[in-house]
A and B are shown apart, each in its own frame.
Chain A
Amino acid sequence: GENVEQHPSTLSVQEGDSAVIKCTYSDSASNYFPWYKQELGKGPQLIIDIRSNVGEKKDQRIAVTLNKTAKHFSLHITETQPEDSAVYFCAASGGGYQKVTFGTGTKLQVIP
């Protein structure tokens, strides 16, 4: 089955700096790579996603890159703000049903 590894597990940045979270996946059949943000006491919420036919996608301060050959993808957050503090999960899915395999999460702390 699919295995998703995520690094780092914790990340502290100063407000205004950039944050980068990296993930690798194992199943070459995976073709959809979402990123979810989970705030305390809430369920995960999609912040950006990328499909296997695209190498990069950007949405305001958030960007995701995908390297299919190396089987890794990354989340980049620029100009971080305190409200960006949360746990971020990368994920991968493929095949005929909605099994989404999540990484272990990165706890991001943005220091004002």
Chain B
Amino acid sequence: DAGVTQSPTHLIKTRGQQVTLRCSPISGHKSVSWYQQVLGQGPQFIFQYYEKEERGRGNFPDRFSARQFPNYSSELNVNALLLGDSALYLCASMRGSGNTGELFFGEGSRLTVL
């Protein structure tokens, strides 16, 4: 079975632009979470969606938004990009909605903001 897939794998944007990142969870997984990983640090929680509903939001500004589609895929949008948004954006899926289970991560989308 395919794992979590993310696109694009790499992208370069300039300050002020907008970006959309996409994620397809493992088949049968209804929960998708997004994490930001700055170089040399651990992933930081941005959003969690389950059955198309937002279940959690981390400490990120309103420039960050996300949604989940009926097929459980998800998009993360970031508006008005800042240099500090440069990071690896990770998507993770999980079968259930609880908080004690394995997160399956994709390989990430590496965003560079110039």
Contacts and interface: CB of A to CB of B under 8 A. Distances in A.
A100 B103 contact: yes
A91 B100 CA distance: 11
Contacts of B25: none
A51 B102 CA distance: 12
Contacts of A32: 99-100
A31 B100 contact: yes
B56 A104 contact: no
Interface stretch (A37-45, A58-66, A74-82): A37-45
Interface residues of A, number: 30
Interface of B: 4, 31, 33, 40-45, 48, 55-56, 58-59, 90, 92, 94, 97-100, 102-108
A99 B54 CA distance: 12
Given A41-B107, A44-B105, A93-B99, A104 B41 contact: yes
A1 B94 CA distance: 22
A42 B99 contact: no
B42 A94 contact: no
Contacts of A73: none
Contacts, number: 73
B90 A97 contact: no
Given A31-B100, A97-B55, A100-B33, 6 more contacts: A32-B99, A43-B4, A98-B97, A98-B103, A99-B56, A102-B44
A102 B23 CA distance: 21
A41 B107 CA distance: 7
12 contacts: A34-B102, A43-B4, A43-B105, A43-B108, A44-B103, A91-B42, A93-B100, A96-B55, A96-B99, A98-B97, A99-B48, A104-B40
Interface string A100-111: 111111000000
